Each structure stands twice: as C-alpha cells, then as structure tokens.
Amino acid sequence: MILTDLPTGHSAVIVKIKGHGAFRKRMMEMGFTKGRVITPVLQAPMRDPIKYKIMNYEVSLRRSESSMVEVEPLEASHTSSATESDAFASNPANIIAPHPGQRVINVALVGNPNCGKTSLFNVASGAHEHVGNYSGVTVDLKEGHFDYKGYKINIIDLPGTYSLASYSPEELYVRNYLRDQTPDVIINVVVASNLERNLYLTTELIDMDRSMVIALNMYDELERSGDKLNYKMLGEMIGVPIVPTVSRTGDGLDNLFDTVISVFEGYNKDVRHVHVTLNKHLEAAIKSISTVIKQDGDISRSISPRYMAIKLLEGDSSANETIKALPDGDKILRLRDEEVAKIEKYSDEDIATMIADEKYGFIEGALAETLVKGDRSNAKSTELIDAFVTNKLFGFPLFLLLMFVMFWLTFTVGQYPMDWLEGGVGWLAGLLDSYMPDGALKDLIADGIIGGVGSVIVFLPNILILYMCISFMEDSGYMARAAFIMDRMMHKIGLHGKSFIPLIMGFGCNVPAIMASRSIESRSSRLITILINPFMSCSARVPIYVLLIGAFFSAHAAWIFLLVYCIGVAVAMLTAKMLRKFYFKEDETPFVMELPPYRMPTGKAVWRHTWAKGQQYLRKMGGIILFASIVVWALNYFPLKSHDSSADNQDSYLEMIGKAVNPVFEPLGWPWKATVAAVAGIPAKEVVVSTLGVLYTGDEEADDASLTQKLTAPDADGSVPFTPAIAMGFMVFVLLYCPCLATIVAVVKESGSWKYGAFTVIYNTVVAWFVAFIVYRTMLLIA
C-alpha cells in the first residue's frame, strides 16, 4: 500500500521510495529508508499536507510526496500494542526488516526491437506472448509475475524502442511509462552481438538515472562469433551491472534476477551514477537548464533534470510540452533558446546530431576497452543468405513461392486431420440421433450446437498449420526481408516497407496487426496501414475458404487460396493509393528498418505461438460461435410450423430476415441462407461457417451428408445452393466486407476517431459487393 492510504494513528514499515533523483535523495536524508517505522499523526483541515512521525520526530509531507512511499502495515501484534518508541528502544536504528515474502519488485523490460525482451518475459513469467524476429511484435505492455527467492517479481514487457525520443508512438509510450510508473528496476535488454547500436538506448536510460541491470542477451551468438567481451569491466565503467543471458533457452536468468534483487536492495557494488559526458559546450548548457528544472519539485520527483535538459536541447516536442505546462515553463524555454544560440556559435551542426555523436563516442570508447572482435562468420552467413533472398531477380518470386507453399500445406496437409475431425463430429451427431428422443432439445443440440460449432471446429488443423508457417517465417528473420523486398512496391502506393509487416501479420489476425502499425513513425502512413489492414485475409476466414474450395476447386486448391489472398492485397494497395492521393498529404518518411540476423526458430517457440492461437480459436468455439449458433438455430426453428397444410409455407424468423435482405445480394446469385450467413459473420467471421452449418444441417434431406455435400446438392425445387461462380463471389465478399467487431474497435482505438471505424464498415462493404459482383459475372462467362 502507499503511505497516503495508511489510516491516522496506524504504523507501517517503509518498503521503498518510488521517487527519483533529488526527491528520492531528500526523502532518504530525512529518514525515509527501507524498514523504518512511520505513523500518520494528523491531517491538515483540507487533508493536505499530512503530519507523520518517524525516528521520534515529526515531518509534514504533501499527499503527492506521500504517494511515492510504499509501506507495509505492521503485524497485528505491533499495531495493537507496540508504539514507535517501543520499536526504537528494541531496535536502535528503528528499522524493522520486512519478511522477504512480503517484498515486491516491479521490473520493466526495455530494449531495442528484436532484442529478445519478449522471449525473456515468456521464460521468466511463464507467459506465452508472441515472439517474432522483426520489430513491432510487442505493441503494448505485457504484464506477468512470478515468485523468486522470497520475492514477488512483477515484470513488464514494454514495446521495443531504439531511443527515448518522441519520434514514434512506442518511444513516447516507453518514456512516459518510465516517468509515470517509476519501476523499481529496469532490465535493459541488449543484443550481445550488436552492442554499439543497442547501447545508445542504454545511454538514455543512464541519463534518466534509474536503477538498472543490463541483460546481455543472445550471448551465445557473441561467443560463436569469436568476440570476447569483458562485460564485468564494461558494467563497472558505466555503473550498471551486466549479466549474460540467452532468453531463448533461459540461460543466465537466475543470475539476472539475483542481480535485480541486489540492485533493488542496494548492495550491488557495480551500481554507481555515471554521466555520459558530452562536450564542454553541451555540458554547460545542460547544467544551466537542469539547475532551473530542479527548482520544480514535481518534475524532479519523476524524471531526471539532466535528462529533461538534454531533451529540451534536442528540441523534443514532448519535453517542450511538459516544461511549457510548468508555472516557470516559459522562463525555462527561453533559457533553453539562449543556450542553443550559444552552442550554435561554436558549431553549425544540429544539436541532436551533436548529442548522438557524443553518445556514440562514449560507447565506442567503452567498447574499445572491453571488446575484442573475433571471426565474423555468422555475419557472413547472413550476408550469403540475403544475397539470394533479397536479390532483385529471386527475392519476389521466392516470396510468392513461400506463400504458395504455406497455402498448399494449409489445405492439402490440413485436409487429413480435418477429415478425421469431421468424421468425429458426424459420429457424435449420429449418436445423438440414435439415442435422444425427437424434440426441440434434440434439434438444438444436433442442429444448433453440433451443426454450428462442429462445422467450424473441424478447421482447427488448417488454422494451426497456417499459424505455424507464419510463426516460422517471423522467428527466422524472413519477415523483415519481406518488408525490404516489398519496399519499392509499397512506395508506389504512398507507403514504405515498414507498413508491410503489419499487413503480413493481418494474415494471422487483423487486431494485433493493426496494433503493430504503431511502429510506423508517420501518422498518415500509420492511418493508411490501419485502414487497409482489414483487407488482409485473417485466419478467421480460412474455414470459409477451406469449405468452399474443397467443394468446388479442390483440384486447384493452393492456387485459388493464393488468388483470394492476392485479391485482398490488390484491393488494399488500390485503397492505399487513393487515400494517399485524395485524403492524406504526401509522406516522404524514410524507410529505416533493422534486418536482424537469421536464426533457426526453436520447435518449442513455434509450437507455443501456434498453440496459443489454437487456444484462442477454441475459446471462440465456446464463446461467440456457440452463442451465435444457438441464436441462428432459434431464429431458424421458430415459429414452429403447424401440421395444418395451409401453414406449410410459413417461413421461420431467419428466413423472413434473409428474404428481406436478399434482394441486395441477388445480383451475386446468393440464396437467402448465404445472405444470412454473411450478416451473421459481422461479429466474428467464423460464424459464417457455423451459420451455414446450422441452416443446412437442419435440412430434413440428406441428414448423413457433410456440409460440403449439402452446399452442392439440389434443393427441393431443383436449384443448387452454391455453384463455382457463387462460391468464388461469396469468398471474395467475405474477404473484403465489414471486418469483425474486434477489428472495428481496434481501428477506432488506434486511429483515435470513430469516423475511421465507420469508414471501414461502409467503404469495405461497398467495395466487397462490387468486387464480388465482378468476380461472379466473370466466373459465369468463363464457366
């Protein structure tokens, strides 16, 4: 609990001071140290400030300061009978050490994209977050916790960032989190084989003056390269303990968290505050500005004045806004402008560039003393593979080949376990038919639940295979190369290669893919990427494709799969081109993206990611799809038809709805049941197949036939529900029309406006109708 929540007259033990820098130092000088007993004595008439008793003297703190002190109430024996004087008499230092089991350490993982943070988070906390070998996987913070040697460790995985500037959303997000949440210890995850680039972020964290441990991750790669690093000496030089780790296997993590505890408890000898010294002109300006910032207690409590002074000199927009809101903000900004003018007299170079150069000079100097370069065979292997994979002749055909293989595996290999599951669902339906008496309950279970949910669950193997292929390409590092290959094409539609990663992620699920667009620095490019992402065919649509392709195009399954996905990509690109030309201003944001070394994904990591998606799919079966199936069954079951022959033609509620809406879709050749299925699929696309399953499973004819057979079997009037032309148009419509509710919410949230969500619903549906109409008519001509 925090000190402000401690009732008047009750005593507690100080666990930690959350504050920062001068504030934290001043509090400790006043006796606010871990283990001290403190008691609220009196509140001011307006409840602020509060008078406390500590070390046999009284001190007044504002609530804002008290909120930065974490305490643990004394045990019942202490609070009921002991006074602070008693405690002081028995313990001259007036310190009561809390039991280790009561200690909580809040740890934040900070590092560059693709440094292994999420792998470390997964291994440490037992979570199953997605790990990919390209930037932008962690698009929001992830929280986990675990018990370690008597401590409860709360661990936060923050988005990957190259710096703590406000250039991109993830940079600002990480900076604001570190400023506002003040974690007890930061674990700065750096790639051991790429220290010079990774340590730039470390210098910014040093500027922030926070308790920190460096996880020297992927240390096995550094050893294989032949490099020798004296990480102990490097840690002593920069004042931050360094621990080698291999997060993929968990090696070194015990040592890492032992070090976290030693830093938290304050007995690690490597910890000392070191300034990343800049040139004399910059240092003079920083000292002048930080001295004035220190006078504002609220700012200096949460963030280092030196760090804020550096950001002001760099012209950081977020820092400007923060300072401008202060009572003396204008004065500080004027002082900043004066100092900038002084520096510019000595150099024509941009100040932000000067600071970056000085920091890289500091890094080079530290590594010159501690790092001995060895053989670079690993880098040569990456260069050799890239020479083929990113080649202008082979790169794009190879990408298409990989997509084709992925779809071939999804349909052809997935067909075998799908048939087994379909047989199991059919066996269960037959069992119910044999042993349950006729009636509404039997129809609900057989037609509603088994017919609906069973029609969708059979596609689980196809979903798993698709995700396994995507996961393998992500973890290996190929996805970053795909972005590189596609940059020129993306540039033609007003975007760049970095937008390609969220679009490819959309093949899995549009929601995290839209969130991944946060890694795109340009707002206009980010919004365009968000708006075209729903045209990427997510895995929820795969059951629809497998069902209809299996029924009508099984001889060319992989090619039809690829064609459908290509239609989605083509519509997305055309939409992006129009948005850039008519709505968003021209954007010339440079394409800067890391190309990580190739790594062989572990089977465990690929399967863990794949099965996590499989679990999501199964949870949908027991949630929205089960609910939707029951609703669709009820609407199709009622009103019950009378035995009177004059009432034989009475329509169900669902048939009434379908026939009312169906004139809109008659130009596409749809039966009313297809219309109902498409409308029902708005909440979640899997519901399309479950709805077809409910509608066609409930037919009295051909009860033993599979759903595929029922879609191709003639109705009572001799008409066939689906033909190849209708099926192709239906797949294209489902590919392009209004995305699921979760995707719409993601669009609104990430764009910051409901107008973009409305645009997605209306524009996508209109486009879907026209493209489906063209496909349907074209198929009729060539059939």
Report the share of the chain in percent with pLDDT over 70. Answer: 83
Identity of residue 179: R
Residue count (the chain) = 783
Bin 55: left if φ > 0, else alpha if -120 < ψ < 50, else beta. Answer: left
Question: DSSP letter string over 370-423?
Answer: HEE----HHHHHHHHHHHHHT-TTTHHHHHHHHHHHHHHIIIIIHHHHHHHHHH
pLDDT digits (tens, 9 = 90+) for 656-689: 888 888 899 999 999 888 998 888 888 778 778 8
Q: Are strands 185-191 and 212-217 parallel, antiparallel or unpaired?
A: parallel
The predicted structure's pLDDT at residue 217: 93
pLDDT tier at 506, thresholds 50, 70, 90:
confident
pLDDT tier at 702, thresholds 50, 70, 90:
very low
Helix axes 478-492, 377-389, angle to 10 degrees: 40
The predicted structure's pLDDT at residue 78: 44
In this prediction the pTM is 0.62
In whole angstroms, give the CA distance from residue 741 to residue 511.
Answer: 10
* Residues in CB range of 692: below 8 A, 6 or more apart: 455, 547, 673, 674, 677, 707, 711
The predicted structure's pLDDT at residue 300: 62
The predicted structure's pLDDT at residue 61: 76
Q: Which residue has better confidence, 646 or 191?
A: 191
Contact 599, 473 (CB under 8 A): no
The predicted structure's pLDDT at residue 185: 93
The predicted structure's pLDDT at residue 732: 96
Residue 313 has pLDDT above 50, yes or no: yes
pLDDT digits (tens, 9 = 90+) for 594-606: 666 777 777 777 8
Q: Are strands 37-43 and 50-54 parallel, antiparallel or unpaired?
A: antiparallel
Tally of CA atoms within 13 A in the half-sphere of 229 that contains its CB: 25
The predicted structure's pLDDT at residue 599: 74
CA 61 to chain CA mean position, Å: 40
Q: Which residue has better confidence, 20 or 521?
A: 521
Q: Which residue has better confidence, 725 or 717?
A: 725
Which of 724, 606, 450 has the alpha carbon at shortest distance from 119? Answer: 606
Beta bridge partners of 556: none
Long-range contacts of 621-628 (CB under 8 A, 24+ apart): 621/453, 621/456, 621/457, 624/683, 624/684, 624/687, 625/452, 625/453, 625/456, 625/684, 625/686, 625/687, 625/690, 626/449, 626/452, 626/453, 628/452, 628/680, 628/683, 628/684, 628/687, 628/690, 628/691
pLDDT tier at 224, thresholds 50, 70, 90:
confident
Identity of residue 287: K
Q: Please give, one letter per residue, the 3-state secondary structure of 220-288.
A: HHHHHHCCEECHHHHHHHHCCCEEECECCCCECHHHHHHHHHHHHHCCCCCCCCCCCCCCHHHHHHHHH
The predicted structure's pLDDT at residue 166: 66
The predicted structure's pLDDT at residue 21: 53
In whole angstroms, give the CA distance from residue 316 to residue 370.
Answer: 33
In whole angstroms, give the CA distance from residue 466 to residue 409.
Answer: 8
Residue 352 has pLDDT above 90, yes or no: no
pLDDT tier at 582, thresholds 50, 70, 90:
confident
Q: What phi, psi does 233 have (nearest 5°)?
A: -65, -40
In whole angstroms, give the CA distance from residue 262 to residue 269.
Answer: 9
DSSP 448: I
In whole angstroms, give the CA distance from residue 152 to residue 94.
Answer: 25
The predicted structure's pLDDT at residue 472: 84
Q: Which CATH superfamily is domain 3-75 in?
A: Ferrous iron transport protein A (FeoA) (2.30.30.90)
The predicted structure's pLDDT at residue 188: 95
In whole angstroms, give the CA distance from residue 308 to residue 175.
Answer: 11
Report the share of the chain in percent with pLDDT over 90. Answer: 17
pLDDT digits (tens, 9 = 90+) for 407-465: 788 878 888 888 888 788 878 878 887 888 877 887 788 776 777 677 778 778 887 88
Average pLDDT, the chain: 80
- Mean pLDDT on 477-494: 76
With vertex at residue 513, the alpha carbon angle to CA 507 and CA 519, rounded to the nearest 5 degrees, is: 135
Which of 584, 494, 580, 574 has the alpha carbon at shortest distance from 764? Answer: 574
- Biggest CA–CA distance in the chain, Å, is 100
In whole angstroms, give the CA distance from residue 128 to residue 611.
Answer: 10
Q: Please give, one letter per residue, the 3-state secondary structure of 296-359.
A: CHHHHHHCCHHHHHHHHHHCCHHHHHHHHCCCCHHHHHHHHHHHHHHHHHHCCCCHHHHHHHHH
Report the SS3 class of residue 39. strand
The predicted structure's pLDDT at residue 347: 77
Is residue 485 exposed (0-12), middle (13-18) or buried (19+ Cβ within 10 Å)? buried
Bin 18: left if φ > 0, else alpha if -120 < ψ < 50, else beta. Answer: alpha
> Which stretch of 127-131, 221-225, 507-511, 551-555 has the lowest confidence by average pLDDT?
127-131
pLDDT tier at 640, thresholds 50, 70, 90:
low
Class of domain 103-265: alpha beta
Dihedral over alpha carbons 398, 404, 409, 412 (to 10 degrees): -150
In the structure encoding, which two tokens stand for residue 492, read together? 């033609």
The predicted structure's pLDDT at residue 80: 38
Question: DSSP letter string over 463-509?
Answer: HHHHHHHHHHHHHHTHHHHHHHHHHHHHHHTT--GGGHHHHHHTTT-
Domain boundaries, the chain: 3-75, 103-265, 280-348, 650-782
- For tokens 């290996």, what's the residue? 476
pLDDT tier at 476, thresholds 50, 70, 90:
confident
- Mean pLDDT on 26-44: 72
DSSP 706: -
> Which stretch of 355-364, 572-581, 652-661 has the lowest confidence by average pLDDT?
652-661
Contact 191, 112 (CB under 8 A): yes
Contact 208, 164 (CB under 8 A): yes
Indicate the helix (H) or strand (E) that contains 108.
Answer: strand 103-111
Residue 727 has pLDDT above 90, yes or no: yes
pLDDT digits (tens, 9 = 90+) for 246-297: 987 889 999 999 999 999 888 888 888 888 888 888 989 999 988 888 877 6
In whole angstroms, give the CA distance from residue 161 to residue 172.
Answer: 9
pLDDT digits (tens, 9 = 90+) for 66-114: 787 888 887 533 443 344 333 333 333 444 444 444 578 999 999 988 7
Question: DSSP letter string over 521-555?
Answer: --HHHHHHHHHHGGGS--GGGHHHHHHHHHHH-GG
Tell me if the bond preceding 169 is cis, omega within 30° of 0. no
Q: How would you label 564-578 residue by residue, b for 16+ Cβ within 10 Å and e otherwise?
A: bbebbbebbbebbbe
